[in-house]
Amino acid sequence: MTRPLAMRYPRLFLLLAPLAVAAAIAGCVEKGSSIVTFDEVLQNVTFRNKLLAPVVLYRDGQVLDTLPAQSVRIYDIGHRGPVHHAWRLIAPLDRYGHKAGLETTIDVGVQYAINGEYVIDNNLHGSGPDAGRTIFTPLVANFSPYALRLTANYEEDDQVVTDYLIPHSLDSTLSHAPYFFWNTHSNIRLDAITGSYWRFYTRDDTTSSQLRMDDTGNYDGSGRTVPISVY
């Protein structure tokens, strides 16, 4: 009976294993200390904000502009060398003047395209502590007689308790909405600021009466949920 190769030639394997590791390490490419760019004049960059909230744009660490919700703007560059962009979400203020929701910063890196274009949507592409995550904003049509205080991801790891009040009109939400992380058990809790009235909606990708992302039409990428009517 033939024994396996590793048992017949243990020394061969002991020799080959470190050689394989050494070859792999020798083949590794170490990142250079400087940024390499092409010797091309970068003409412009387009930012397309699909979110229902304004974002601050940065170029090389300096504020470039504030881009309103659901808008597109083109910015000239007109020079060679590395140009670095980033953006930061602006959270709305609650009734006490505190920030309600995320104010995440996403670094989109060095621009290489001569005419660059970046899409800002609810999937956070780029780098930064929150990069790779998805965000959402709950759209609530408040037909109840109460002002409703919003809590997102109630009793989840990323729970956010706010004093942000859900308005009776949707218009203000569409121009400056609060954003939260979208996880497998995302939910919202709405509490009346007076009395014991409250409502709870949890993520359900099949039922529109629950919390479900609306990725249709103009709102694709906005992170907006299908409107929930509260009576």
Query: Interface with other proteins by CB under 8 A: which residues?
Result: 1-8, 13, 16-17, 20-21, 23-40, 58, 61, 80-82, 86, 88, 105, 107, 109-115, 127-129, 131
Q: How far is the CB of 22 from other proteins (least distance, A)?
A: 10
Question: Collapsing DSSP states into helix, strand and coil, what is residue 20?
Answer: helix
Q: How far is the CB of 151 from other proteins (least distance, A)?
A: 28
Q: Which is nearer to other proteins, 86 or 148 (CB)?
A: 86
Q: Which is nearer to other proteins, 24 or 169 (CB)?
A: 24
Q: Bridge partners of 129?
A: none
Nearest-Å Rg of the Cα atoms of the chain is 25
Q: Which is nearer to other proteins, 14 or 193 (CB)?
A: 14
Q: How far is the CB of 2 from other proteins (least distance, A)?
A: 6
Q: Which residues contact 176 (CB under 8 A, 6 or more apart)?
A: 52, 53, 54, 69, 90, 92
Distances (CA, A) of 96 to 11, 92, 113, 164, 209: 72, 11, 43, 9, 30
Give long-range contacts, CB 8 A cutoff, 24+ apart: 102-105.
102/130, 102/135, 102/160, 102/178, 102/179, 102/180, 102/181, 104/128, 104/129, 104/130, 104/135, 104/179, 105/130
Q: How far is the CB of 207 from other proteins (least distance, A)?
A: 36
Q: Name the phi and psi angles at 25, rounded to 5.
A: -65, -40
Question: Which residue, 144, 131, 147, is CA-closest to 94?
Answer: 147
Q: Which is nearer to other proteins, 13 or 200 (CB)?
A: 13
Q: Which is nearer to other proteins, 24 or 143 (CB)?
A: 24
Q: Which is nearer to other proteins, 28 or 157 (CB)?
A: 28
Q: How far is the CB of 227 from other proteins (least distance, A)?
A: 34
Q: How far is the CB of 107 from other proteins (least distance, A)?
A: 5
